[in-house]
Structures are given as structure tokens and as C-alpha cells.
Structure 1
Amino acid sequence: MINKKGWIESEISKALTKWEKEYLGRGSISVKTDILRDMIIVSLHGILTPAEYTLCDSKEGRLSIKQVRTSLVESGVDDLMEMISEITGVNVKSFHTDISTQTGERIMVFKLEENVEKKLNR
């Protein structure tokens, strides 16, 4: 028996990696997706370049990296939301993201219009 939840989580991770490479020009080192109630939580590791880590030595550099990286992702948010909706079959209500300039990790949260986890457990 196929684990539908695990399959969807894997498909989202693959699709997000592909989007990163095509849209941003490079991908993260690893991506992990979890479905929790009406949320898709994606953790991306290895986001920052060595040059960006160097910039993160100062407060201004950290703020600049956060702002630029957030702007880049936000500029493609419509594609991301459509991708999540296609894979899950549920519309995305909102999108939230942040990046850690210490660890180079980005978290993305897609809030959905329905409880996908409950839907998958039927």
C-alpha cells in the first residue's frame, strides 16, 4: 500500500528543488517537506552561498541578505502556490517564509484552505 502523505511530501520537495534551480538559478542542498493539518511546512538547507555567509558577519549584511532572498522568493510566490495546489489538490490560502542567516536554512509554510492531513487519512 502506497503512503499518499509521504508521496505528496516527496513530490513537493522535488518540485520545490526544481523551481529553485529554474527560477533562482541554484538549489538548496536538501529539502524536507511535512504535511501538518492545513499546512505544508518545507525546510530547505544549504541556501546561502559562501559570499552571503561572509556578508552575514555584519548586521547590515544579514538584513540585506534576508531582504534580497525574501524578495526573490516572493517574486515567484504565485508559481509556488500554484505548484502546491496542483500537487495537493487544495488551494493555498497564504504563504510565509523566513531564512536563517546563521544556519543558511529557509522555512516555507503554505497555509491551505483545507486540512490536507485529515483528507489523506480518510
Structure 2
Amino acid sequence: MNKTKGQIVAEISEAIIKFEKEYMGRGPLETKTYILGDMVLVRLKGVLTQAEHQLVSTGEETKGRDLIKQVRIALLEKGRPLLEAVIVSITGCKVKSLHTDISTVTGERIILFTLEKDPTFEQTS
């Protein structure tokens, strides 16, 4: 049985929240997933820790921001095989690439997966 787009989106959001909690140590305050053709875009809000907020609120904001971005990207790259496996199992599509960035101003993180093809889902009536 095929899943609806809504079911796929919800499963991806739940899986990303679980990954953030278990792998990164803290879950986001809010997660929203979008499927746009062969792309899966996940927007996470409130991902910065208290320590990270402190790092960017000191006098050397640029240095703190760069450190946070470097660490977060390195951690995500280490967990990339786990994330890609989750996306494949939910969408049935192989991941072609993964892109990410984090804003130390808003505490928002974006994860973009490009897939080898558009995922198929059951049409809702």
C-alpha cells in the first residue's frame, strides 16, 4: 500500500526529530517537511543549545557563528548514512545529495535532500 504525501511528510519530520534528539543531543522546537518534486526540504526551528546561544552572543559573534556551523555540518556529515537510510525507507527513493545550513541568528536549520526521482504517493480524495 502506498502512503499519502501527508503520511510521508509526517514520517520524515518524526525521523528527523528522532535523529536530532538521539544523534545531535537536542531536538528542534518545531519541524516542517516539504516535498517539492525530487527534493525533500526539512526546516527545523529552535535547534541551538544554550551554550551555542552564548557563543554567538559574545563579542566575537562571527567566530562563534563559524564554529557552530562547522561543528553542526561535521556532525551531520557523520550521521549522513543514517539520515539517507531513513529517507530511502520512507520515500522509496535513493538520496542523490544532502545540503544543510544553520542560522545562528534565528536558530533555524534547513536540510535539503535531492532524490534520484520524485517519490510516489497515494492521492488523497
Q: Normalization by structure 1: what TM-score?
A: 0.91
Indicate the percent of aligned positions where both proteins have the same amino acid. 51
Q: What does the per-residue CA deviation read over 1:69-114, in whole Å, with 9 as the maximum and x for residues that have no partner?
A: 1111111001100100000001000000000010000000000000
Instruction: Check whether the contact 2:3–2:122 (CA below 8 A) recurs between aligned residues.
Output: no
Residue among 106, 110, 121 paired with 1:107: 110
Q: How does 1:42-81 map to 2 (within 5 A)?
A: 42-57=42-57, 58-81=61-84
1:86 partner letter: S
Q: CA deviation at 1:3?
A: 7.3
Q: What does the per-residue CA deviation read over 1:25-48, in whole Å, with 9 as the maximum and x for residues that have no partner?
A: 211111100000000000001110
Matched, 1:22 2:32: no
The aligned length equals 119
What's the counterpart of residue 41 of structure 2? 41
Instruction: Check whether the contact 2:95–2:114 (CA below 8 A) recurs between aligned residues.
Output: yes
Q: Which runs of 5+ in 1 are unaligned?
A: none
Cα distance in 2 between the residues matched to 1:35 and 1:84: 12
Cα distance in 2 between the residues matched to 1:69 and 1:6: 28
Q: Normalization by structure 2: what TM-score?
A: 0.89
Query: Which portions of structure 1, spanning 4 or more consecutive aligned residues, are displaced by more than 2 angstroms?
Result: 119-122
Cα distance in 2 between the residues matched to 1:41 and 1:121: 20
The CA RMSD over aligned residues, in Å, is: 1.6
2:121 partner letter: L
